[in-house]
Each structure stands twice: as C-alpha cells, then as structure tokens.
Amino acid sequence: MNESNRISLVLWSIAEPVNKQTGRKLTPLEKGNPWAGLWKSPGSLAAVLVLASVVSSLVSVAASGIFLGLGLLAWLADCVKSGKIVLRAVPFSWVLLLFLLLTVLSAVFSEDPWRDIRHLKSCIKFIIPFILVTYMTGKQARTTLFWIFGISGISMLWGLMQFLSSDGVDLLDRIDGFMSHWMTYSGQLMMVLVASAAYGVYILKKGEGGRKFYSFIWFLFSALMAGILILTYTRSAWGGVIGGIAVLTVLNLRMRWLLVLAASVVLMAVLMPASLQDRLASGFDPRDTTTRGRLDIWRSGIMVALENPLVGVGFSSVPVESLKYREEKDLPEWAYQHSHNNLIQVAATSGIPAVIAWISLWLKIFWDFFRIRSGNKKNVFIAVQSSSGIAVLAAFHLMGLLEFNFGDSEIMVLLLFFISIPYVLSRETEARKREETGSLPES
C-alpha cells in the first residue's frame, strides 16, 4: 500500500461517518473520494474541521486556530444554505451565555476597554461544544480519541528526549513537548492520561476472556504518560492526575482498586529521586520561595476582586492592580500577570457574579454527566465516557487550584472536546430510541 492510499484510509476513518450523516447516497465515483460528501454538506465539513482543530491543538496553537476558523466558515455556509441558524443548544447553554455576558461587561467597564474587548476573541472557542453536539457522530468522537492518544504518545516521546538531552533540572526551562510552555504541556498530558485510562476501563469492563488483556496496554500507556508528566515537575498537574484517576476508579471499579491507586502513589513518592521529592515537599513549605510567592499572588488577586466585586477590573488590568497589593518580593513582577488560580483570576477579572456563573457552569456539566451515566448503565461505552468526562473535569479543576489553566487556549480546546463526547453519545442514543418507538423528537 503506497503512502497516498494510507493517507486516504486515515481521512476516510473520519469522513465516512459524515457521509452517512448527509443522508445522500454517494455515486460509485464519489465513493473513491473520502471527502466527496463533505463538500456538499458544509455542516458536516464543519465538524471535521473543528475536530482537526482539537487534534492539532496538541501540536500547534496556530494550526488549531486556523482549523477552528475554517470550521466556523463551514458552519456559516451551512447556515446560509439552510436559511437558518443551524446550531443545537447544549444543556449548559444558558449558564455559559450568562458567564460570557458578564465577561463582556467586565471588558466594557474596565480601565482599558479597547484592549479587553479585543481579548474577548479568545471566547470564540466556546462554540466548539455547540458545533460538535450539532454535527459530530459517536464514531467520529471515537476516531478523534485515537488521534489524540496517538499524537500525545509522540509528544510524550519527544518530551522524554528533551529531558534526556537536558543538562539538568531547571524550573524555568522544563520539558514542553510540542508546546511553548511546560504548563500547557503538562495540562494536556494530564487530561489525555485520564481519558486514556478511561478507555482502558472501558475495554476492561466490555472485554471478555482474553480481550481484557488489551486493557493492560491502555493502562501501560497511561502509566508511561504519568512518568513523563512527573518529569515536567508540574505539581498542579500531578495533583490533577491523582484526583482524576481516583474519581475514575470510584465511578467504575471496585474499591480495592482505589487502595491499589493510593498504594501506588505512596510507593511512587517514596521511590522518586531526591530532586522530585524536594519539588513535591516544597509545595507544602511556606518558607519556600515559590510557595511564599504564590500565596502572595493569591492574596493580591483576592484583594483586587474584593475591591472590584461587581465587574472586576478586566483581564488586562489584573497584573497592574495585583502589584498594588504585593507584599513579597520573592517573584518577579511578570509572575503577577495572572492569579495562578482559576477562581481568583475569574473573580479579579470579571467580578463575583461571574465567579458564581462560572461555578454554576461546571456544576451543571457535572450533573449532566452523572445523569447521562446513570441513564445508560447498560451501554458501557457511554457510561465510561460520561465518567471519563467527570474525571477529566475533576483533574482540570484540581490543577486550576494552582494554575490559571482556564486561560490556556490549548488546554481549553481539548477540554471542550472531552466534555462534548457524553452529550453527543446521549443525543445519538435518544435519537435511536425515538426511531425504535416511532416518537417525534422534543421541540
């Protein structure tokens, strides 16, 4: 098989379900072209381009932005073709829209409105769940997962090569894979690790006899990724992974597995090299320079939020306002560019009402995933993917206690894909049930 044929097969793995979605039979000539149905269905093409944006976010933020822009153009073309706005609402739509409205208000009333309004372009990525829930299929979701796992595996190997070729541990120059910063890299590895472990759980629960052996491959892959994650020296991601895997274990496996996880974490901490143990212990030492500095950054951010409780100060003003309340001199001024905590940063940027909306958004998604999981216990894939969404969210928010990962575009694009999967699978299941019963969809 030559290279062009291999590429065609890869493209077909994503495009083939979309062709079925168009509802039009392809001609024999068109069947040889995996993109044939896409050009005649802009909405279906939008799904593929947005998924390409998700996958490419593991490699390049620029490529991810280009694919997302093209996906939006394809979606707009579908709206023009249909003569209406084609966009399925997700269950958390109203909470997200409220949060975005409060974010816009904070930009308008900030000291530098023009700069903050321009910063709002980063909010465009929140359309990803809407497009995916509208167009994406379950088969596409599963195919995209494998792409994410594969590219993350390559990124993991590249990170290992970076570590082996480095002169030593430097907290200001750590391994970052294909990313420009180790924090983004560790956040990606963290979420992919939890998602891959969830896929291993799916195989374990679904498999019979010898098939259960394949789950070991996924667990081994996750374990290797955990090893690379440790080498990033990013404590917030370490805590996120432990929490995410613990949630995944509680939701899907017997309690003895949780004991195994706890024992593994303790054993790993004991066997860690001295440099890693020192890095872990420093997070609990208030005399440590970085710990003391981080506490001062948090305190400064909280003071900014309390002084501006309604609409905050806007994103661009947080660094300037935080320095007014600075007491420690351990960290340079650029370390105060954000609050290194999601809740504090959102409060300082957009005010207390925005924080309430932000918390409500995630609680709504958590509740939806628990509901989807409980309603589809007989469908192992949906049940496990719902618990995977819960675990990935738990990891994300645990990391967000020590970092402002909500402001990291590459991490958010990946997260928005993971939280879209349960909704897509639930939508397909409900549609299948309506077909079987002959009932009409709810308006």
Output the six-digit token pair for 114. Answer: 């023009």
Is the pLDDT at 442 greater than 60? The verdict is no
For residue 117, give every residue at least 6 positions away whose Cβ sits within 8 Å of its Cβ, in sequence order, or none. Answer: 107, 108
pLDDT category at 32 given cuts 50, 70, 90 is: very low
Coil, helix or strand at residue 104? helix
State the pLDDT confidence band at 4, using cuts at 50, 70 and 90. Answer: very low
Lowest pLDDT segment from 167-176, 192-201, 419-428: 167-176
Q: How many residues does this entry show for the chain?
A: 443
pLDDT for the residue numbered 15 = 44
In this prediction, residue 430 has a pLDDT band, given cuts at 50, 70 and 90, of confident
CA distances, 79 to each of 73, 75, 229 (Å): 10, 6, 42
Distance CA 406, CA 184 (A): 11
State percent of the chain over pLDDT 90.
58
Is the pLDDT confidence value at 443 over 70? Answer: no
Kind plus residue range of the DSSP H or E element containing 239: helix 235-252
- For the segment 58-65, the average pLDDT, to the nearest whole number, is 95
Mean pLDDT of the chain: 85
Choose among 290, 294, 429: nearest CA to 373. 429
Distance CA 29, CA 406 (A): 46
pTM of the model: 0.87
What gap in Å lies between CA 184 and CA 179, rounded to an integer? 7
- Residues whose CB falls within 8 Å of the CB of residue 200, separated by 6 or more in sequence, listed in order: 215, 216, 217, 218, 219, 221, 222
pLDDT at 255: 66
Helices in 83-112 by DSSP H: which ranges?
Answer: 93-108
pLDDT tens digit sequence for 310-352: 999 999 899 999 999 998 887 888 888 989 999 999 999 999 9
Residues contacting residue 279 through CB under 8 Å, at least 6 positions apart? 233, 235
pLDDT digits (tens, 9 = 90+) for 118-170: 888 989 999 999 999 999 999 999 999 999 999 999 999 999 999 999 877 67
Contact 405, 342 (CB under 8 A): yes
Q: Kindly tell me if the per-residue pLDDT of 34 is higher than 80.
A: no
- State the number of CA atoms in the 13 A half-sphere of 231 facing the CB: 22
pLDDT at 39: 53
pLDDT (tens digit per residue) in 364-390: 999 999 999 999 988 999 999 999 999
Task: Specify the 3-state DSSP secondary structure of 440.
Answer: coil
Who's near 105: CB < 8 A, 6+ residues apart?
311, 350
85: left (phi over 0), alpha (psi -120 to 50) or beta: beta
pLDDT tier for residue 41 given thresholds of 50, 70 and 90: confident
